C-alpha cells in the first residue's frame, strides 16, 4: 500500500513533499504559510514578515529609536493562500515598523596604490544603517 503524503492539500506532490517530510514538516510548513512582503527602500529590496528585524540603509537624520516607520513601496504581498504582485508597487499597501536602533557599520578601508610612483591613498568609510522591527503588513 502506498503511503499518502501529509502535505498534499498544501503543496504539490513529488520531490518537494519528500524533502519537506525529511527535513521536518512543522517548522518548514509554518515558514511557507507565513505572510511576507517584499519592500523597496534605499535602492534595495527586502523580504520581510511581521516580527522580523531588518537592517536597512540610513532613512534620514530625523528617525530615532522607538519612532514609527512606514514603508509605502511594497512590491509583493504573499499571505500563504493568495499573492498580490504590484506593477511595480501595490497601491495602498504599507508595511509598518519601529526603529530598533540607529548606528554605523564597521569601518571599510579603501586603499589606492600605484607601484614605483609614490602614490598611496588610504581612506576609511563607515556606512550608516537603521535596524527596523516589522510590526505589521497592511
pLDDT (tens digit, 9 = 90+) per residue, 60-114? Answer: 878 899 999 999 999 999 987 888 888 889 999 999 999 999 999 999 999 999 9
Q: How many other C-beta atoms can be found within 10 angstroms of the C-beta atom of residue 37?
A: 24
Cell numbers given for 68 = 514609527
Cβ-Cβ contacts under 8 Å for 134 (sequence gap 6 or more): 48, 49, 50, 51, 52, 53, 54, 95, 96, 97
* C-alpha cell at position 78: 504573499
pLDDT at 65: 92
CA dihedral 10, 16, 18, 23 (to 10 degrees): -90
* pLDDT tens for each residue of 30-47: 555 688 999 999 899 999
What pTM was computed for the model? 0.70
Query: How far is Cα 89 from Cα 83, in angstroms, rounded to an integer?
Result: 13
Distances (CA, A) of 111 to 66, 117, 119, 126: 38, 15, 10, 15
State mean pLDDT over 18-22.
54
Amino acid at each position: 500500500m502506498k503511503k499518502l503524503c501529509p502535505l498534499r492539500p498544501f503543496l504539490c506532490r513529488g520531490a518537494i513533499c519528500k524533502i519537506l517530510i525529511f527535513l521536518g514538516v512543522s517548522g518548514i510548513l509554518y515558514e511557507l504559510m507565513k505572510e511576507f512582503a517584499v519592500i523597496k527602500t534605499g535602492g534595495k529590496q527586502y523580504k520581510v514578515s511581521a516580527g522580523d528585524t531588518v537592517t536597512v540603509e540610513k532613512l534620514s537624520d530625523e528617525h530615532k529609536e522607538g519612532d514609527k516607520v512606514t514603508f509605502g513601496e511594497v512590491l509583493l504581498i504573499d499571505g500563504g493562500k493568495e499573492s498580490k504582485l504590484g506593477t511595480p508597487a501595490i497601491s495602498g499597501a504599507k508595511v509598518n515598523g519601529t526603529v530598533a536602533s540607529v548606528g554605523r557599520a564597521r569601518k571599510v578601508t579603501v586603499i589606492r596604490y600605484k607601484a614605483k610612483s609614490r602614490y598611496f591613498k588610504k581612506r576609511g568609510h563607515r556606512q550608516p544603517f537603521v535596524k527596523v522591527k516589522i510590526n505589521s503588513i497592511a
